[in-house]
Structure formats: structure tokens, C-alpha cells
Structure 1
Amino acid sequence: MTLYSVEMDVSAAGANRNIVVAQITDLHLLADRESELMGYCTYSMLSDTVDAILEHDTRPDVCLLTGDISQDESVESYELARCELERLGIPVFWIPGNHDERGGAETVFGASENIRRLTKLVTADWDFIYLDTCRQGAGEGYLNDRDFERFVSEVEASTGGGKNIAVVMHHHPVPTQTPLLDGYMLLDNERLLKTLDDHRQVKLVICGHVHGDYRIRYGNQMIEMCPATCFQWEKGTSTMTTENWRGFRVFEFSPSGYRSALILV
């Protein structure tokens, strides 16, 4: 397994050093590109999302892919993802979700020059730090002691360097008030929330998992949850009720902060 700590050359972003990041999440691809999940052809919807990113007014510098890339954990599903992601022509940093088979994903994506497993992405003013919330066989989120120690160390290093920090993780760490989702959030969230409380330079937490558009303020941080590329869960639902829309998020990071926009596909 290879994790990347990458310093990004942002000279192309202009003198203001602003960085544009696209986020996509929860692709839920299957081995057969024609197969459907809950009545949705997840592959064609990913392809439509990639088209929308390519057609967007502002070209992203990088893309964050925040987990649940596959639904069936097949090598073929990751190969489909690789083909679509490579069309973006920009670096793609991925993290695993609870549906992913990490070994297969690492093997397939390792053959691509543009698709990299994220641990820490370093830019001039912002550091993007991955936190692992996935436990094999569990839909809900849990912290891994060893990884959490690594995460805190990375946060402290970035804090000491005067950086703004964005945490990148799969599960949401605070409730959304949608019961279907909140039974599968990061359950042992106390250590993370204390770390957020103690490190005010953490400005943003970027999540997937929820299949919906949520923005929740927690203390000094904004927690932004991105819609899936396939389908969404109805807000407030306790049952598996879907909504037929999809989207991605675009962030623009500057030395003084960030702004974000939801882009519907």
C-alpha cells in the first residue's frame, strides 16, 4: 500500500495562489457498466459527472474522490473508474469508503499516473489531510488508532507551519438529522471532535457517504458533505428512499479562506 504526501505546484493558479478543487464521491460502480443499483446505472451517471466537470466554467486543479468507488468490490469496477477519472486530465486523489476493496483499488489506480491515494496534499496555504474512518465489514465509521495518531501528527505539523487545514474523510462526523444516515456516521467521533476543538486552523471537513448535500457548522469548522454521483437519499428519511439527482462540489481555496459551490449534473 502506497500513501502519498504531495506538495502541489500551484504556479498555474495565478499570483493569488487560489486552488480549485472538485469533489466527487460515492460512485458505487459495478463490474458490468450496464448494471444498475437500485434502478440507477451508476457508470453512466459517473460518465455524465465527468463530462460536467470538463464543461464547468472553471477548470479544477485537482479532484478529490472521497470513497465508495465500487459497490461490488470488483477489479472491473475500479477499471471503469480509472478510465473515467483519467478523462479529467488532472491529479485525482482518492480515499476508500466502506464499500471499497482497498487492495484492488490500489492495484488498478496504481497503474495510472494521475490517480493517487491521498494521505496529505500540501499546497502553499492549505494542507488536505486524510483521516481513515473505514473498518472492514462495517457500514458505520470507526477510527483506526494507528491512523488517528498519524492524522493528529500531520495536523500538528501543518498547524506549526501556519497552514489552513482541510480534513478529508469518508464518513460524516456529526449528525445530519437523517436517521438512515446517522446510524452509519462516524460512531466514535469524540477524539476527532476534540482534535477539531483544539486546532482552530482546521477550517473545513470534507466528507462523502451521505448521498446528499449537507453543510453543517461545528465550532470553528464547516463540515461539507458532497452528493453522490449516482443517487441521493431523501433528507430526513428513515427508509431507503432515493432521489434521482446527482452533483459534485467545487471548492476555491485562497490564503484567507475558501468558498464552495454545489454543481448539479
Structure 2
Amino acid sequence: MNPRAVGAWTPQAVCTPSCVRSGGDRPFPGVVGLRLALVMLVAPLLPLLAAPIPGRVRLQRGCCRLVLRVFGVRVTATGGPVRNLRGMLVVSPHVSWLDVFVIGAISPGTFVARADLISWPGIGTLARMMRIIPIERDSLRRLPAVVDTVADRLRAGRTVVAFPEGTTWCGRARGRFYPAMFQAAVDAARPVQPLQLSYHHHDGAVSTVPAFVGDDTLLASMRRLITTRRTVALVHVAALQLPGTDRRELAARCQAAAGSRAQRRRRTRVAC
């Protein structure tokens, strides 16, 4: 792939940890301790997400749902059906490390993730086992190789999940979809499934509790979730987009599909 065909991609979010607020009702007494205990019990099961065994997709969904339950997160899916197509690129706004488990509970696949994730204790080992495609967000020179890898996975019939904003936002603000990653779908001639992902308190108000922005730490993010009574992850499955021949036009279509808030609160099915 011609590196000049990718275009500049320097994602920057205006969100900082000051955007993040704990909120919602506190859990009942003893729930926090129970969740902490469950975190310790569930952690050894996470390698099953990468296990090359029969029924792997169903197992991945189950593991993701279990992780979400531990953190008091309930997923509600709206919109169209989740299509079980081979070689599909799934794109979504990016709020938190939790996004991986929310999307994994609905449409498991290989994720394009920040390269430094590989060095995180525990999570890095899991990331390597899951064959996550690492991306260095500040290195434009290496971006074409990442796009080529995504295209190869799509041609091989794999589902690949990417966050084309290129960085996390708090959930109240949102970034643009950069077109670079959409080149993979164009090159592989594979469809794109846009998802609208947002987090809410039990009363429907937008929640920044799961947000993972700026200099926030994974531990602080996990603590906020564990000490919040309930978080609702709302996923709207938008219309499937054909790749076409222009990545910028495809990115614009997917951003429009993922960004519209019309009828988002109408619940059609519960994922977990």
C-alpha cells in the first residue's frame, strides 16, 4: 500500500480526567467487596478469550459478558441485527478500555489497539494472546503497515474491530472518524459495521464513569466502575456500509451512522 495514500492521522482529544465524574447511586453494602472478589476470580479466565477451541466465538461473548457483570455493567443493544459476516470491519466511538468487552459481548473479533497496551501487566499478555493489532497513534510512518495487516485479516475472513477516532473521549464529547483505517475495508472490499456506543447511569443520563482519558489510570477507572451501582452500555447497531472506493467518503458515512442519536433510547434486545 502506498504510504501517501493513508493521509495524516494525528488524533487528539480535548478530554482530560477533569471530564470524568463519579456518579449514580452507590452499590448496596457488600457489593463493592463482592465485585473485588469476583475480579480476582474472573482474571484467570480471561486467557479463554484467545483460546483456539471449538465454540470460541460463543466463549468470547460469555467471557466478555462475565467481565461486564463483575463491573456492574449491563449492555443494551438497539437498531439492526448483529450480522455474522466473514471479514467485517466493525467501527465504534472510543470511550474506555471497557469498550473491548462491550463490543466483544456483541460482535467478538480482533481489535486494533494502542501499542503500549502490550506492555501493561496482565493485560499485555492477554493482548498478545488475542493477536491484537498494535497501533502507535503518534507514528504516521507505521500506519500503512497496520492498515495492511487489518486488510489481510479481513481477507482471511476475520472480524476486526477498530476505533477510528484514534483516541478515547469522555462520552460527552466525541471526535471525528479518521479515514486511515477505512482504507483496509476498501482494499479488502469488505463491509463495515458502524456501532454507536455510549454509557449511561440507570436513569438514562450520560455517564463518564467508564471514561479512560488523559492521564487517567486503569486502576482509577476500574475503581469508579466497581463503586457505581450500575452502568448501562448502550450499543446501537447502525446500517451496514459497503466499502466503495473512497476511504474518506466511507469514514464520513460511518461517522454519520455511528453519531446519530435518533431513537437511541428505544430498547430492542438485551445483550447481557
Question: Structure 1 length as normaliser, TM-score?
Answer: 0.34
Q: Which has the higher contact order (CA 8 A, sep 6+)?
A: 2
Higher helix share: 2
Q: Whose strand proportion is higher, 1 or 2?
A: 1
